[in-house]
Protein backbone atom coordinates (compact mmCIF):
# COMPACT_ATOMS: atom_id res chain seq x y z
CA UNK A 1 0.00 0.00 0.00
CA UNK A 2 1.13 3.50 -0.75
CA UNK A 3 3.85 2.44 -3.14
CA UNK A 4 3.56 3.14 -6.79
CA UNK A 5 2.50 0.15 -8.81
CA UNK A 6 2.20 -0.24 -12.53
CA UNK A 7 0.27 -2.97 -14.28
CA UNK A 8 0.18 -3.85 -17.93
CA UNK A 9 -3.22 -2.70 -19.19
CA UNK A 10 -4.59 -4.46 -22.26
CA UNK A 11 -7.70 -3.73 -24.30
CA UNK A 12 -9.24 -6.83 -25.85
CA UNK A 13 -11.76 -6.00 -28.55
CA UNK A 14 -13.80 -7.89 -31.08
CA UNK A 15 -13.57 -5.78 -34.22
CA UNK A 16 -16.14 -5.97 -36.96
CA UNK A 17 -19.26 -8.02 -37.30
CA UNK A 18 -18.43 -11.62 -36.44
CA UNK A 19 -19.79 -12.86 -33.15
CA UNK A 20 -17.28 -15.51 -32.20
CA UNK A 21 -15.66 -14.24 -29.02
CA UNK A 22 -14.52 -17.51 -27.47
CA UNK A 23 -10.89 -16.90 -28.46
CA UNK A 24 -10.94 -13.31 -27.22
CA UNK A 25 -12.31 -14.47 -23.88
CA UNK A 26 -9.69 -17.23 -23.53
CA UNK A 27 -6.93 -14.70 -24.16
CA UNK A 28 -8.50 -12.13 -21.80
CA UNK A 29 -8.69 -14.73 -19.06
CA UNK A 30 -5.09 -15.89 -19.61
CA UNK A 31 -3.77 -12.32 -19.45
CA UNK A 32 -5.76 -11.71 -16.27
CA UNK A 33 -4.20 -14.79 -14.72
CA UNK A 34 -0.80 -13.48 -15.77
CA UNK A 35 -1.39 -10.42 -13.59
CA UNK A 36 -2.47 -7.96 -16.28
CA UNK A 37 -5.48 -5.66 -16.18
CA UNK A 38 -7.64 -6.53 -19.12
CA UNK A 39 -10.38 -4.24 -20.37
CA UNK A 40 -12.86 -6.29 -22.36
CA UNK A 41 -15.08 -4.32 -24.73
CA UNK A 42 -17.38 -6.98 -26.07
CA UNK A 43 -18.60 -7.59 -29.61
CA UNK A 44 -18.97 -5.53 -32.77
CA UNK A 45 -16.52 -2.73 -32.09
CA UNK A 46 -15.81 -0.15 -34.79
CA UNK A 47 -12.28 1.27 -35.21
CA UNK A 48 -13.64 4.51 -33.67
CA UNK A 49 -14.90 2.68 -30.57
CA UNK A 50 -11.65 0.75 -30.19
CA UNK A 51 -9.53 3.88 -30.43
CA UNK A 52 -11.76 5.78 -28.02
CA UNK A 53 -11.59 2.94 -25.48
CA UNK A 54 -7.79 2.68 -25.86
CA UNK A 55 -7.51 6.41 -25.16
CA UNK A 56 -9.89 6.50 -22.19
CA UNK A 57 -8.34 3.42 -20.61
CA UNK A 58 -4.73 4.45 -21.39
CA UNK A 59 -3.75 0.91 -22.33
CA UNK A 60 -0.27 -0.10 -23.47
CA UNK A 61 -1.62 -2.91 -25.63
CA UNK A 62 -4.63 -3.40 -27.91
CA UNK A 63 -5.53 -6.96 -28.86
CA UNK A 64 -7.98 -7.32 -31.75
CA UNK A 65 -9.80 -10.53 -32.48
CA UNK A 66 -11.02 -10.77 -36.06
CA UNK A 67 -12.47 -13.88 -37.65
CA UNK A 68 -14.57 -12.24 -40.35
CA UNK A 69 -11.86 -11.72 -42.94
CA UNK A 70 -12.19 -7.95 -42.71
CA UNK A 71 -8.75 -7.46 -41.16
CA UNK A 72 -7.24 -5.67 -44.19
CA UNK A 73 -9.99 -3.04 -43.90
CA UNK A 74 -10.24 -2.75 -40.11
CA UNK A 75 -6.62 -2.93 -39.01
CA UNK A 76 -5.25 -0.03 -41.13
CA UNK A 77 -8.14 2.12 -39.86
CA UNK A 78 -7.38 1.29 -36.23
CA UNK A 79 -3.67 2.01 -36.71
CA UNK A 80 -4.38 5.35 -38.37
CA UNK A 81 -6.86 6.41 -35.71
CA UNK A 82 -4.56 5.45 -32.85
CA UNK A 83 -1.88 7.66 -34.42
CA UNK A 84 -4.29 10.56 -34.94
CA UNK A 85 -5.20 10.42 -31.25
CA UNK A 86 -1.55 10.56 -30.28
CA UNK A 87 -1.53 6.95 -29.08
CA UNK A 88 1.68 6.17 -30.93
CA UNK A 89 3.12 3.97 -28.18
CA UNK A 90 0.26 1.52 -28.09
CA UNK A 91 1.24 -1.99 -29.22
CA UNK A 92 -1.22 -3.76 -31.50
CA UNK A 93 -1.69 -7.53 -31.55
CA UNK A 94 -4.07 -9.53 -33.72
CA UNK A 95 -5.76 -12.84 -33.14
CA UNK A 96 -8.25 -14.89 -35.08
CA UNK A 97 -8.13 -15.99 -38.70
CA UNK A 98 -5.43 -14.04 -40.52
CA UNK A 99 -4.16 -15.71 -43.76
CA UNK A 100 -0.38 -16.05 -44.09
CA UNK A 101 -0.25 -13.92 -47.24
CA UNK A 102 -1.59 -10.90 -45.33
CA UNK A 103 0.80 -11.15 -42.39
CA UNK A 104 3.81 -9.36 -43.87
CA UNK A 105 1.71 -6.40 -44.99
CA UNK A 106 0.07 -6.13 -41.59
CA UNK A 107 3.45 -6.25 -39.88
CA UNK A 108 4.67 -3.51 -42.24
CA UNK A 109 1.67 -1.38 -41.25
CA UNK A 110 2.78 -1.62 -37.62
CA UNK A 111 1.11 -4.70 -36.14
CA UNK A 112 3.36 -6.00 -33.37
CA UNK A 113 2.25 -9.62 -33.39
CA UNK A 114 -0.27 -12.00 -34.97
CA UNK A 115 -1.53 -15.03 -33.07
CA UNK A 116 -3.36 -17.61 -35.14
CA UNK A 117 -5.37 -20.62 -33.99
CA UNK A 118 -3.36 -22.96 -31.77
CA UNK A 119 -1.04 -20.29 -30.35
CA UNK A 120 -0.30 -21.04 -26.70
CA UNK A 121 -1.50 -18.42 -24.26
CA UNK A 122 1.96 -18.55 -22.67
CA UNK A 123 3.50 -17.27 -25.90
CA UNK A 124 0.95 -14.43 -26.06
CA UNK A 125 1.72 -13.45 -22.46
CA UNK A 126 5.46 -13.47 -23.09
CA UNK A 127 5.19 -11.42 -26.29
CA UNK A 128 3.02 -8.83 -24.60
CA UNK A 129 5.41 -8.59 -21.65
CA UNK A 130 8.35 -8.16 -24.02
CA UNK A 131 6.53 -5.47 -26.00
CA UNK A 132 5.79 -3.52 -22.80
CA UNK A 133 9.33 -3.47 -21.46
E-assigned strand segments in 15-90: 37-40, 61-66
Interface with another protein (CB under 8 A), residue from 17, 19, 58, 123: 58
Per DSSP, what are the bridge partners of residue 62? 11, 92
Longest Cα pair distance anywhere in the chain, in angstroms?
A: 50
Query: Cβ(91)–Cβ(121) under 8 Å?
Result: no
* Residue 99 touches another protein, criterion: CB under 8 A: no
Interface with another protein (CB under 8 A), residue from 38, 64, 94, 124: 38
* Residue 64 touches another protein, criterion: CB under 8 A: no
* Residue 20 touches another protein, criterion: CB under 8 A: no
CA distance 14 to 24: 7
Q: Which stretch binds another protein (CB under 8 A): 31-39, 65-73, 96-104, 116-124?
A: 31-39
* Residue 105 touches another protein, criterion: CB under 8 A: no
Identify the three-state secondary structure at position 94.
strand
Which positions lie near another protein, rule CB under 8 A?
A: 1-7, 9, 28-29, 31-42, 46, 48-49, 52-53, 55-58, 85-87
Amino acid sequence: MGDSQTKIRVLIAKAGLDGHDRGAKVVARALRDAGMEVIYTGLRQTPEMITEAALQEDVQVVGLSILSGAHMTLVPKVIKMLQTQGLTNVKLFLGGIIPDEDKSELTKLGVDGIFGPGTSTQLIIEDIRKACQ
